[in-house]
Amino acid sequence: MKKSRFSPETYIQGILNGDRMLLSRAITLVESTLEEDQTLAGQVMEGILPFSGNSIRIGITGVPGVGKSTFIEKFGGLIVESNHKLAVLAVDPSSQQSHGSILGDKTRMESLASDKRAYIRPSPAGKALGGLSAKTREAMLLCEAAGFDVILIETVGVGQSETAVRGMVDFFLLLMLAGAGDELQGIKKGIIEMCDALVINKADGSNLEAAKLAMRDYANALHLFQAKESGWTPKVMTCSGLEGRGLAKIWNVVEEYRNVMQLNGFWQQNRQSQRIQWFDDHIRYLLESKFYQNPGVKLRLSEVLPGVQSGNLSPIKQAEELVQGFLNRAK
């Protein structure tokens, strides 16, 4: 049974009053692909926009097994103990066959999930590049309007396109492991170049010395990279998400970054660039949605796809004809 929808004003006022039920319902609304939901979601986003933007947005990435969930639970605990309200947008891998999602972060972060000062929202990555939910930006703004002043965005971390998360956060944190080569971790040079802090996790027990060695190696390597536009030199640290060691230092680096970037103007400049990117991305999303939902396109696709699949029809030619037909019908 389809849940009833509220008026835009009900969503907006509920979110501004910190109503978590309405916040969750609003995020579900913006994630919906139904056209009527998208119209309502647009009205809600327009209403909360003036009340958003007042947070530190932190992207956290790293391959599966690096300990992101354990790290976030302990790091999040430190953040809320520092008198902040925390929202965690955890994007889970979606099945390419069933398009389902694991959505297990609330069980993996049981302690943080039960803390009234924190809000955890798992979302399926779906077809979004880089393991990032297509509506993560909107969810982030909704959380900000609800009063959360620190937003953590956890990506799937499969090394596809972390530029997606870099393009919507203020601070980009890369978690690494000691004792595994880059080829095993799936970490590319480009991802390392994007990070504002590189943290060797699981620096505990018998792995402690290896983590310290890895920290020195990465610190030396980062000096060879081109200087960042922001003027910031990425920090390299170790931590133990399991034991909670080194987390306070990481938070101090995040706060230092915010202070330095706000003073030199890069914070505002970066936010402005991200808004333009969001604008461009949404245009592409709308055009693609309109294209594939068009009845004429659906009919023609059913006719040409078998030929494209078998190799009897040119993918390029058929794509050009489909797009041209769509544009002609749109005139």
pLDDT, mean of residues 51-69: 90
256-282 per-position pLDDT tens digit: 999 999 999 999 999 999 999 888 888
Residue 142 has what pLDDT?
97
Answer yes or no: same fold for 1-51 and 53-264: no
pLDDT, mean of residues 301-316: 96
User: CATH number of the domain at 53-264, please?
Assistant: 3.40.50.300
For the chain, domain boundaries: 1-51, 53-264, 279-330
238-252 per-position pLDDT tens digit: 999 999 999 999 999
pLDDT at 129 over 50: no
Sheet arrangement for strand 118-124: 118-124, 86-92, 150-154, 56-61, 171-176, 197-200, 235-238
CATH class of 1-51: mainly alpha
pLDDT, mean of residues 297-325: 96
**Residues β-bridged to residue 57:** 151
pLDDT, mean of residues 180-187: 49
Q: Which of 40-49, 64-73, 318-327 has the lowest mean pLDDT?
A: 64-73
Residue 127 has what pLDDT?
55
pLDDT, mean of residues 80-94: 85
Q: Which two tokens stand for residue 234?
A: 């990425």
From residue 188, alpha-carbon distances to 174, 192, 195 in Å are 11, 7, 12
| Percentage of residues of the chain with pLDDT beyond 70 | 85
pLDDT, mean of residues 203-216: 91
Query: Is residue 84 very low, low, confident or very high in pLDDT (cuts 50, 70, 90)?
Result: very high
Closest CA to 12 of 4, 23, 24, 28: 23
Element (H, E) at 272: helix 266-293
pLDDT at 29 over 60: yes
